[in-house]
Amino acid sequence: MSGRLILIGLLAFLGLAFLVIILGLYRYLKRKDLSGKSLMEEPVNEETDTTKMELGELLVYGAILLVAVLFGLRMMDRGGIGFSNLASAIIVPPVMALFNARKRTGKAIFVFIVAATVALYMAMVYVIIGVPVNAPVITVDKTAITMAKTTVGDVLAEGFDIYVKTGESSNRSYDNLLSSGEFKKYSADRSVLVKKGFQRNSDTTSQAPYLLVKDGRVLGGLGLYGDKTKDKVLEDCTIIHFSLDEDCIVVARAGDMAYHLDGMDLLLPLKQATLEKTFGQKLWLVPPSEPRDSTQLHYGIQWSTGSDHLFWNEYYAYIHFDEGNHMTGFELSTDIARDWNE
């Protein structure tokens, strides 16, 4: 069964349920008592001031409320739905201050309940579906490659070459990678098609289906995505995977090349404080304070949403390094937005 349809159906059901509740409450409040008044007209607080609020006063209350709402949403975004009670405790006081600034009747209560219900529903939509994240950018020799956006045609126009894997080989030597016969230089004649659908790619540079090359130097391995339902010409496919092995990094250092991830220089000695400043909560994996050996020396970064790639692309990066904090390997990959059964 489609995961997207399940979640959309759930949200539609909740939206309908909230609408029924609001309509039922409206009918109840419109009923008149023996005195001929409805609950809509009855006062609900002790304030006697009935004048309209001036613009300056509204702006003050509105600014305080906006800050509270944004802070609460940010808290839920970072800490999850478990922080919803704390977020509510932050938002409720400025709401009540605005409500009690003037004399209010049952009509104001009804409007407040409607607004709170809509806000609750939108918060649930935000938590379940989320919003798209900004795709990470890997910069190679001053050329920015945005995951799932930059195409092969874009990098060809920047003077890079693409080598396509044509067969298997036991050769894994960096020096012979381009001359081993395992890869063939693409002539950019729109003659190669990338198969339809999403293919998860975790290959190392030497095993990647495509190589990014410039001036005869292999600068990284690539994974591509074309279309969900049809094969697509290589030039029109987007780059969704980029990998570096130690040989590529050594050549880059010797050739005065540069790699940056979202502006952070990957060839400088890695510092956890710099990664935390650059990526914030996206940095989910750090090495232990006293690692046993180099197998524990990794940083993990993720650009994800609450929908688990059902509605939006998600991205993952791993940086491997040695005891001197120098990068020895790198992978940046994309989970293309798709349903559970795709």
Residues 9, 59 within the same domain: yes
- 10 sits in which H/E element: helix 3-30
Query: φ, ψ for residue 294 (rounded to 5)?
Result: -70, -15
Handedness of CA 76, 81, 85, 88 (dihedral sign): positive
Residue 207 lies in a domain: yes
Q: Are 288 and 255 in contact (CB under 8 A)?
A: no
pLDDT of residue 254: 87
Q: How large is the average pLDDT for residues 167-175? A: 69
Residue 107 lies in a domain: yes
Task: Domain count for the chain, please give it.
Answer: 2
Q: How large is the average pLDDT for residues 80-107? A: 78
Residues 150, 270 within the same domain: yes
CA-to-CA dists, residue 258 to 213, 265, 270, 328, angstroms: 14, 7, 14, 14
pLDDT of residue 153: 96
Residues 152, 54 within the same domain: no
User: Which residue among 128, 153, 188 closes a domain?
Assistant: 128
Residues 179, 112 within the same domain: no
Q: How large is the average pLDDT for residues 39-61? A: 79
| Closest C-alpha among 263, 270, 219, 258 to residue 242 | 219
Asked whether the predicted pLDDT for residue 143 surpasses 90, the reply is yes
Residue 259 lies in a domain: yes
Residue 17 lies in a domain: yes
Task: Give the least confident one: 119-133, 183-197, 218-232, 255-269.
Answer: 119-133
Residues 157, 228 within the same domain: yes
The mean pLDDT of the chain is: 88
Q: How large is the average pLDDT for residues 76-95? A: 76
Asked whether the predicted pLDDT for residue 82 surpasses 70, the reply is no
The confidence band for 255, taking pLDDT boundaries of 50, 70 and 90, is confident
Asked whether the predicted pLDDT for residue 313 surpasses 80, the reply is yes
pLDDT of residue 41: 78
Q: How large is the average pLDDT for residues 19-36? A: 85
Domain region containing 327 = 137-335
The confidence band for 294, taking pLDDT boundaries of 50, 70 and 90, is confident
Residues 115, 161 within the same domain: no
- 70 sits in which H/E element: helix 55-79
pLDDT of residue 145: 97
The confidence band for 86, taking pLDDT boundaries of 50, 70 and 90, is confident
User: Which residue among 74, 97, 128 closes a domain?
Assistant: 128
Give first-to-last CA distance, the chain, whole Å: 11
Residues 122, 144 within the same domain: no
User: Which residue among 128, 153, 185 closes a domain?
Assistant: 128
pLDDT of residue 80: 65
Q: Are 194 and 207 in contact (CB under 8 A)?
A: no
Residue 340 lies in a domain: no
Residue bearing the bigger pLDDT, 15 or 1 = 15
Q: How large is the average pLDDT for residues 228-243? A: 95
Number of Cβ atoms within 10 Å of the Cβ of 21:
12
pLDDT of residue 170: 62
Percent of all residues in the chain with a pLDDT value above 90, rounded to a whole number: 49
Residue 341 lies in a domain: no
Residues 158, 276 within the same domain: yes
